[in-house]
Amino acid sequence: MERDIIVKYPEELATSLKMGDSEFEKEIRNLSLVKLFELGKISSGFAARLLNISRIDFLELLGKYNVSFFPDNLAQDLDSDYKNA
């Protein structure tokens, strides 16, 4: 079962971002699922299914929003190892 979420926003918000209505709605959908993934609330596979894209495409989408695929502590460990190499 699917449910709708209605978000009211001023028309000038989409305009100020130079987006049409459908593009802005897609952006909000992407942002919300990326954030839920970032917070550890949903998996990348689940987010990809909800966006009707492949998991690889979702992982690439994370980069657009500067969100790491790796958990924070793992990303920090990798970064530290790289700097110490």
* Range(s) of the domain holding residue 45: 11-84
**6 found inside a domain:** no
**2 found inside a domain:** no
Indicate the pLDDT class of residue 26, thresholds 50, 70 and 90. Answer: very high
**Identity of the amino acid at 70:** F
**44 found inside a domain:** yes
Predicted TM-score (pTM) of the model is 0.77
**71 found inside a domain:** yes
**1 found inside a domain:** no
Give the torsion sign (CA, 9, 7, 51, 4): negative
Q: Does pLDDT of 21 surpass 80? A: yes
**51 found inside a domain:** yes
* Cα angle 27, 29, 33; round to 5: 115
The CA distance from 24 to 69, in Å, is 24
Contact 58, 44 (CB under 8 A): yes
47-78: per-residue pLDDT in tens? 999 999 999 999 999 999 999 887 655 455 55
Number of domains in the chain: 1
Percent of the chain with pLDDT over 70: 82
